[in-house]
Structure 1
Amino acid sequence: MLHTIEIPDFPAVAAGIIVFFLGAFLTRRVAVLKNYNIPEPVAGGLAAALITWAAYSLFDVEIAFDLSTRDELLVVFFVTIGLNARISDLVAGGRMLGILLAVTIAFIILQNCVGLLGTLAFDLPRPVSVLLGSASLIGGHGTAIAWGPTIEAATGFEASAEIGIASATLGLVCAALIGGPIAKYLIDRHQLEAKADGGPVVGLPYESDGLEAGAVNHISIMRSILAIYIAIIIGYVVDEAIASAGLKLPLFVSCLLVAIAISNTVPMLFPNLPWPARTRALAVISDYSLSVFLAMSLMSMQLWTLAGLGGPLIGVLILQVLGTSLFIVFLFFRLMDSNYTAAVLSSGFAGFTLGATPTAIANMSSVTKRYGPAPLAFIILPMVSAFFVDLANALIIRYFVAL
């Protein structure tokens, strides 16, 4: 008889922190994890997911986590990204932003074409192609859940919802595992180096584990938290206004845009006011929120739900991973100028085209911890992956569903 253990919100956060430290232990003890830039929360989260799978398989115990705080941590993380953003960087990166957007839209179409080939090869209804493509991979679990019932109603294919969720889950795992190795290959092959920058954005280097005089204190941490909370409060108001206008966006997008706005106006209006942008204190909060969010996301995966969905799902996903890797190495990296920032963006591109924006940021963070900062990458990728792509993906999905 199956017994379910419900882990409430507060203990679930504590478990997420423990899982992060498990991942940190693994990446320091298992050389291949650190050498290939596998993020600590990914290593720990996957290990925890395997443990819960073993509990389910061996003892008929299902462990379920309340993830309410996890979603709040995602908002906090994107606000830290916005507070670090400089308009000058966005202007300088305007060309790269445009290229990234164009390449991403082209890749959405390519991803759905691969899914369409999968439906033809395995004799599945054609609209299912998006559940093996951009609806579940670039779109993630939310988009897959939204489109699953629609496709099931249109085709009568009862496993639509399950395939979409399973594809999103496996895609997330693959995204977290291939981004770091791709960046390592590109950086080592082309002998790329980071340029000196004015301060940390996210991804404090491994060498920062020791104490550094004046690096972080309680005042700098509290100043950073205050700026984050002000941005979130205003972001809530902006999000309500956008929703009332008929446009529904994720809350973190509104908060990200507000954070960018206030971080580029407040320091100019009040030049003597200490501002947390690109400080180590803000980087600590950024790393914390991202690490715990990703650890909780991965540790809560119910891997046993994937056991009966082999065949078509695994076959198409292998094609998607291979196609993504080749696309990045031979096309994306070159289009993004073949420099260090392009290599970091490559790890992020793998992260969000197969998984989700937080996975992309975690991949890039793990790379910059080892090789050095790439602040522009952390600004332009979320602008595309968390804002523009959702709109383009929705239109493209509708086209493929209508085929």
Structure 2
Amino acid sequence: MIVAIIITVLHFNNINLEFSLPLQKTFMLMFFATVGLAANYTQLMKGGAKVFVFLAIASIYIIIQNSVGVGLATLLGLEPLMGLIAGSITLSGGHGTGAAWSTTFTETYGIANTLEIAMASATFGLIIGGIIGSPVAQRLIDKNDFESEYGRGNDTHERFPELVTYNENERDRVTAKKVVEVLFILLICVTGAKYLHEWVNTFEIEWLMIPDFVYALFIGVFITNICEVTKSYKVDAETVDILGTVSLSLFLAMALMSLQLWNIFDLAVPFLIILAVQSVVLAIFAYYITFRVMGKNYDGAVIAGGHCVSA
């Protein structure tokens, strides 16, 4: 983001910079492939019924989020699809999803400056989510006098040593061999996504024309769960997490370097209005709906706060 600001300052001083970023899309596909590889059905089963309940709640809220975004965008005289960018695409999906979908919005629907809008919206959502999440959870906990099953205080790890999962003396479990193996799987996902996307588009069926990163994600889901069911190979979760973080970081760095912030100054006010309303709706939904559906207890309060951060 610092680079984007510097480029903007230079632009107003008649100095324009452009970058060649041929690997940006590759890193994007790698990131979404790691998201798919992390979607192991056994992990979902460990979470129990609450995982699926929260999935349902989050899905319902995404519909509300997009309805608010599209509705306000229309009222403010913007392209209705802009409301999706200030909706679940960035507020629930984050920077990675926003940057990925921005290409589709530009190429398919001809909407300009979607990357800049997506990055700004995702950044706003990240900051506001962190700001309102903790107060919502704390308010629910204090109001109902909830207490964690581990009690209060700062000595939790001393009283419950089994909660400590980090051991500084433990040998790093991510090895070069595992990195190479996961990179090979990512290569399959990225290459497969590219060719599957091109093949499906030859049918020219509009509802099947989804972005290539969705295919990368689904291929990742397919591979990790096939490996889990057949017990033929264990996809190392830590290696996937590290490579996913690296891929996302490089992808976002490249995306932010190509921002032209001066093109969205006129949209600042309407988008701030949309995002401000989205924040209020989210806080209300998490406080009154998420908390109650998730059990009206300490865990429910924490999940409600987490919903604010993630949505």
Letter in 2 for 1:63: L
**Counterpart for residue 15 of structure 1:** none
Amino acid aligned to 1:347 = V
| CA spacing shift, 1:82–1:340, aligned 2, 3 Å | farther
1:179 to 111, 129, 146: 129
The change in CA–CA distance for 1:345 and 1:320 in structure 2 (over 3 A counts) is: closer
Structure-to-structure mapping, 1:3-402, within 5 angstroms = 45=1, 47-57=2-12, 59-90=13-44, 92=48, 93-117=51-75, 119=76, 124=77, 128=78, 130-134=80-84, 137-139=87-89, 140=98, 141-142=102-103, 144-145=105-106, 161=111, 167-186=117-136, 190=141, 212-245=170-203, 246=205, 247-271=208-232, 273=233, 275-278=234-237, 280-332=238-290, 335=293, 338=300, 340=302, 343-349=305-311
Q: Deviations over 1:33-81 (max 9, x none)?
A: xxxxxxxxxxxx2x22222222222x31122233331221121112112
Cα RMSD (Å): 3.7
> 2:94 aligns to what?
none
Count the aligned residue pairs. 270
Change (3 A) 1:87 1:219: same
Maintained 8 Å contact 2:68/2:278? no
Q: Distance in 1 between matches of 2:288 and 2:18?
A: 41
- Quick one: structure 1 residues 298 and 179, their matched pair in 2 at CA, closer, same or farther if it must change by over 3 Å? farther
Q: Deviations over 1:338-362 (max 9, x none)?
A: 355554443222xxxxxxxxxxxxx
Contact 1:145–1:164 at 8 Å: present in 2 too?
A: yes
Shift of 1:222: 1.0
**CA separation of 1:225 and 1:345: change in aligned 2, threshold 3 A:** farther
Counterpart amino acid of 2:72?
A: V
Distance 1:308 1:231 in 2: 39
Q: 1:269 to 1:314 in 2, by over 3 A?
A: closer
* Partners of 1:320 and 1:303 in 2: CA distance: 22
- What letter matches 1:176 in structure 2? L
Q: Percent identity?
A: 22
State the TM-score, normalizing by the size of structure 2: 0.69
Offset, 1:87:
1.6
Q: Could you say what secondary structure the match of 1:68 adopts? A: coil
Listed as ranges, the gaps of 5+ residues in structure 2 are: 90-97, 151-164
Give the partner amino acid of 1:227. Answer: I
Counterpart CA distance in 2 for 1:103 and 1:301 is 30
8 A Cα contact 1:49 1:300, kept in partner: yes
AA at the equivalent of 1:72? T
Q: Does the CA-based 8 Å contact 1:137-1:168 persist in structure 2?
A: no
Unmatched 5+ residue regions in structure 1?
Answer: 1-44, 150-160, 196-206, 350-403
Against the structure 1 CA distance between its residues 292 and 110, is the aligned structure 2 distance closer, same or farther, given a 3 Å change threshold?
A: same
How many Å separate the matches in 2 of 1:188 and 1:55? 44
For the 8 Å contact 1:112–1:130, the answer to whether it is kept is yes
How far did 1:285 drift?
0.8
Q: Decide whether aligned partners of structure 1 residues 185 and 171 sit closer, same or farther in structure 2, where only a CA change above 3 A counts.
A: same
Judged with a 3 Å threshold, the aligned counterparts in structure 2 of structure 1 residues 138 and 61 are, in CA distance, closer, same or farther, namely: farther
Q: Hey, what's the Cα distance between the residues in 2 that align with 1:108 and 1:304? A: 26
Q: Alpha carbons of 1:88 and 1:216: their partners in 2 closer, same or farther (altered >3 Å)? A: closer
Q: Which region of structure 1 is more displaced relative to structure 2, 319-328 or 214-223?
A: 319-328
Whole-Å separation in 1 of the counterparts to 2:227 and 2:274: 49
> 1:130–1:136: 8 Å Cα contact kept in structure 2?
no
